[in-house]
Amino acid sequence: MLPTARRTALFSESVIRDMSRVASEHGALNLAQGFPDFDPPEVVLDALRRAIGAGAHQYANTWGASGMRQALAAKIERFSGTVVDPDRELTITCGSTEAMAATLMAVLDPGDRFGLVSPFYENYAADGILADAQPVHLRLHGPEYRWDPAELRSLFASGIKAFVLCNPSNPCGRVFSREELLELAQLAIEFDVVVVTDEVYEHIVFEKPHVHLHALPGMADRTIVCSSLSKTYSITGWRLGYVHASPHWTSAVRKVHDFLTVGAAHPLQVAAETALALPASYYTALREEYLERRSILVQALEAAGFRPRPPEGAYFVLCDLTHMGVSDDRAFALWLAREIGVAAVPGSSFFKGEARPSVRFHFSRRLETLREAGQKLALVPGRI
């Protein structure tokens, strides 16, 4: 047999998505792969029904249907204050997943180095490898997951072309402060680095506000925002994401996007206009609902002997397992799914180098699902 391309040996299939398969195999509650078990807002579903009857069944403009780009530009301006040109600065993609892959392919040349923090969302390293570039990791120091300013500076000084930041962060739940982002911005300007942000959880923040890096002084031309509608409107299966960047970056991203996928599903883009126009009260309710879910999961984990730190944002709780005598978190996650009936993601898949055994649970579930998970997790102390 001919060998497969060498790059396919440099990364494995997603551990997160693999844990969804493990969950169904064992009939476990899936607190592994982060997606809601509840429906999107009814008005958004109505908009989809209307869109399906309204004839948008052929390719949309490859940059994204113009109605959706306009609605998105208005929404970005509403929340970040930035005026966005929908014709030159927005590209609609198949989820933020495609947004990030297309962006890294548009930014990085073979052999380029790019920075990312550890722990990190597993797609980034694979996306960089698909661009034949080399990821370089910066450790976030626990338990608060902060970077060391001196280590950040030496990473930027080491000749990276891009830096990828997930904010709010999956998996560690950090919401980076204005001061931290100003520090990052200053280094990006000083060392001429482009920052690629993943902001899919921008509306799921609890104790402090989300700060938009692109809106900080000097960052408009050196920030590429990859985001999506998946988490904000509970439509992960619609696969609608976007890239927001200055025309210089947008024109390169659009070329990659065009040849990767041509475009995202047209009727869904039409329906998305309604989601993007939802009033401020929608976002307040979203946050409050997630606060309640967070509190149920955190309490259940505490009762089960874990030591959870409530995340500042996103919908994940990353728990260190050291005090429970666990050394192999993959074996622990398989045991938890099989014996306890709750699937989670082994934390080692998010770390580079310095992983401590840990496990990540998500709380994008109905309250009753989380309570049921709590009852199952209560069995852990007696069985471990």
When the beta carbons of 104 and 326 are compared against ligand PLP, the nearer one is: 104
In the complex, minimum distance from the CB of residue 244 to ligand PLP, in angstroms, rounded to a whole number: 14
- The answer to whether 167 and 212 have CB atoms below 8 angstroms apart is no
In the chain, the amino acid numbered 157 is A
Q: Which of 350, 345, 372 is nearest to 360 (CA)?
A: 345
In the complex, minimum distance from the CB of residue 265 to ligand PLP, in angstroms, rounded to a whole number: 13
When the beta carbons of 147 and 380 are compared against ligand PLP, the nearer one is: 147
Instruction: Mark residues 177-206: x for contact with ligand PLP by CB under 6 A, - for none.
Output: ---------------------x-x------
Neighbouring C-beta atoms of residue 5, cutoff 10 Å? 7
Is 170 near ligand PLP (CB under 6 A)? yes
Residue 300's alpha-carbon distances to 87, 235, 236, 367, in angstroms, are 48, 27, 26, 12
No. of helices (H) and no. of strands (E), the chain = 13, 12
Instruction: Give me 370's structure tokens.
Output: 């989380």
In the complex, minimum distance from the CB of residue 36 to ligand PLP, in angstroms, rounded to a whole number: 11
Is 135 near ligand PLP (CB under 6 A)? no
Which range, of 6-14, 90-98, 135-143, 330-338, touches ligand PLP by CB under 6 A? 90-98
When the beta carbons of 121 and 363 are compared against ligand PLP, the nearer one is: 121
Q: Which of 95, 115, 308, 346 binds ligand PLP (CB under 6 A)?
A: 95
In the complex, minimum distance from the CB of residue 181 to ligand PLP, in angstroms, rounded to a whole number: 17
The Cα 209–Cα 229 span in angstroms is: 19
In the complex, minimum distance from the CB of residue 235 to ligand PLP, in angstroms, rounded to a whole number: 9
When the beta carbons of 250 and 364 are compared against ligand PLP, the nearer one is: 364
- The answer to whether 245 and 97 have CB atoms below 8 angstroms apart is no
Residues 218-257 that bind ligand PLP (CB under 6 A): 228, 230, 236, 241
The Cα 241–Cα 92 span in angstroms is: 6
For 90, the enclosing helix (H) or strand (E) is strand 90-94
- The answer to whether 197 and 213 have CB atoms below 8 angstroms apart is yes
- By the criterion CB under 6 A, which residues form the site for ligand PLP? 34, 95-97, 121, 166, 170, 198, 200, 228, 230, 236, 241
